Amino acid sequence: MANIPAKSTHQGESWTELFKTVIYAALIAIFIRTFLFQPFNIPSASMEATLLVGDYLFVEKFAYGYSRYSFPAGGWPLGDSVHGRVLARDPHRGDVIVFKFPRDNSTDYIKRLIGLPGDKIQMKGGTLYINGKPVPKVRIEDYVETVDGVVNHVPQYRETLPEGKTYLVLDRERNGALDDTDVFTVPAGHYFMMGDNRDNSADSRSEVGYVPAENLEGKAEFRFFSTNGAAHFWEVWKWPFSIRYSRLLTPID
């Protein structure tokens, strides 16, 4: 009987070990993405000036517990008849949250939590009202942007919620379409979300509506990377000229 060459045996063992390493790495990545942190990138301007197109961020998946939308492709292990959240924790007003669009659960949105269950939310003259009281906002330096080579100055404010959370909002249009609304009463088990770019945001004032607690995916914690939109994350040859270095590894207010 012929002996198997030692070289062939060694090559077979090497491929087996490589295959195992790839599988282990994939399982670890899935575990981290599902239960700990998931990367997201910002494709739209609805959260300017807090989040910019080209920002890459990590979302804390365990911040509010887990639901069917915590799992890739909605692979909820508890069955279709079980809804709600496991290990649930309440979000805080002012959190920046990634959630599933209520009308299309295949789409992710990111907005700021403004209204808690039972709250009455209204916009009047561009000012946010929570439970009948105006939310203070102070004009600060303009937000400066360049669009198609033209420099624009956008009015910018620092808004402060009743609990003390502060953040920046933009007011692009005086008397914009969403600057005056009816009163929204947030139902039990739902939340009211708004974009910081108030005149350029599809949020709970319009087509998003109230967001069920089950749809929350996690809390946006910090940016780990940012480009000016001229390069994707994987286009490393463009990094030196496209990275926004001042935004790397920065927390999200």
From the candidates 46, 67, 70, 226, which is the catalytic residue?
Answer: 46
Residue from 50, 45, 55, 43 nearest 199 by CA: 45
Is 111 a known active-site residue? yes
**Of the candidates 71, 63, 55, which has an alpha carbon nearest to the alpha carbon of residue 105?**
71
Place of tokens 């365990």: 62
Whose tokens are 């620092």? That residue is 158
Angle, CA 66 vertex, CA 186 and CA 75 arms, to 5°:
115
Query: Is residue 46 flagged as an active site residue?
Result: yes
Catalytic residue among 67, 70, 100, 111: 111
Left (φ > 0), alpha (ψ -120 to 50) or beta: where does 29 sit? alpha
Whether the Cβ atoms of residue 105 and residue 74 lie closer than 8 Å to each other:
yes
Report, as residue numbers or ranges, the catalytic residues: 46, 111
